[in-house]
Structure 1
């Protein structure tokens, strides 16, 4: 076991993350479920509007965190989310949730996330030494993944028992827990404000510096490949393959659970044992594991084989991300670390907005199997990108 020197404040924040992410997850499910009652176009629009602000405002969100510090930004964003959830709960108590209300709520949630995510991604750096950053981020990721795993079934249960208004107030409780934790925490490292960050020149400087920092363009390319080519194929490919191959809804659910279980098990390993000092090796290995899993899913005629495939995919993604994200933070200049995170968020989200509709088109044209197989081949491009970058091959956290 690898032990990290982290303050009690860090551990309190990790614990609060479970409650906060669980509240956000059940609210996201309830919003989508309620929107689906207005028709598929409304449900699709709600999902899109929770992602689009990250694409439009992610760079600004990172700049704000560089200017004012991730701690302060997280406090303000958490308070804003509490107000949005409380407002939604009160409105839905007195009137039926309209399409307009759901869409407005989605925009507000997505906008808050555009500012909160870059800040929360770099927050662990204020608590631990660089050598321990990978392990610390793995523990945060483990807490978030655990909450996201139980959120959909919990959301399904709660929306039936207490409706959308009650679920909104559940999110308020999770937000209050996080807000209290953040107000009581004092990170051992201080943030140095980048006063020029929230200007057009400062935002552009973040992008140009990222482009000119050795190793960073390669990491961004790898993330774009995995996020754009792999994640949509899995999230859409599992239900489409299930219908195409005659698997039942319960079998499809088990296949989906394999993706989650594989990621959780792998995340728990890194949170307990720590991440590799020479990160390029697992960064290169992860996409190959993903490709193997996608290959199994592409050819599976039995749902057990598909389950093995999705489990491999979950393992591969976490092997990859558990080393990519800390390396990316460590390569970023300290005054620009949040702006780099905003750029990373942009790179993660934009390809998915483009690829999601294309997946449906190609599946309709050639079937699920070939699309999944091609996605697996594309995943290997991330491995090729890692092994051909000299900075990544020589980078070490110890």
Structure 2
């Protein structure tokens, strides 16, 4: 199947200025929103290449003037300054609602704008984790990458799962992020059950239940009304026993073509169940993790395979769900060298790219702006600036 939106030249805005809106949730603190350091770097690069960056929360939109309270970084004063700005027509979603109330506020406000104004989003949205995995598992090209997965429907469903998977399971929320609220279930030989995971505030925890019934009851109360999926408790550990995964950052270049910006390993603390950086993990070069586990040659082969599969999966996501500027793909590698697809992220972070090299770190910031510039073309077809060399 041909990839949808192979380049961006059909998305020309002849009546809009070269402004890119960055959607955020305003916060208290040094920066008025989350990811202040990353957005500040975006602002500096955008300024250097002639793109006006307007950072705003959607609830500040004034329909009468079609304006928002737009934050811009003042280099001389080294601070964010807010003033009324025209609503940008191209937007980059970097909002991270901290609570359900804030999430609802963001969605309602954005829906109000979209009902009245045509916006172009750099990224479409992915469905929940269970749906992406379900669709991939039906595709012969990717089915072998996807761990067996089933929805959690209460203690009876987990009990049935445990009978088929050696008394263990890994459960994660279908709409979760940053490794929050995941939990592992592992039954030992004497019938005791170890529950280990991360809280909604990303704190690590563990608990040993004396019986399976006690563990099932506790886990069910902890999950509550949240939607979860169950997967095998895969052996995804470094040579010295720490949890790890591999993040592949896919981004479009100025021509709208998919590129692998970088691949980085994320390694969690010993005794924890996730490698996510928000939960205390650290980023490492993939070779430094894979070589002690698999040997130099097999490690190089695995990384090359991740890069090749990542490009195919990025196109698959676009064919399935719409236009994207970037996607983060997470993979696991077990001790046999088997590659597992863990999840896709339509709002990937950048922190891990520092371990993938200076070029990856730089391009992780430049490429969203490079791709945005191909949308912000003048009718003549001339790109505002050439800046792949930055």
Whether the TM-score (by the shorter chain) exceeds 0.5 is no
More helix by share: 1
Higher-RCO chain (CA-CA 8 Å, sequence separation at least 6): 1
From the CA coordinates, give the structure whose radius of gyration is larger: 2
TM-score by length of 2: 0.25
More strand by share: 2
TM-score by length of 1: 0.24
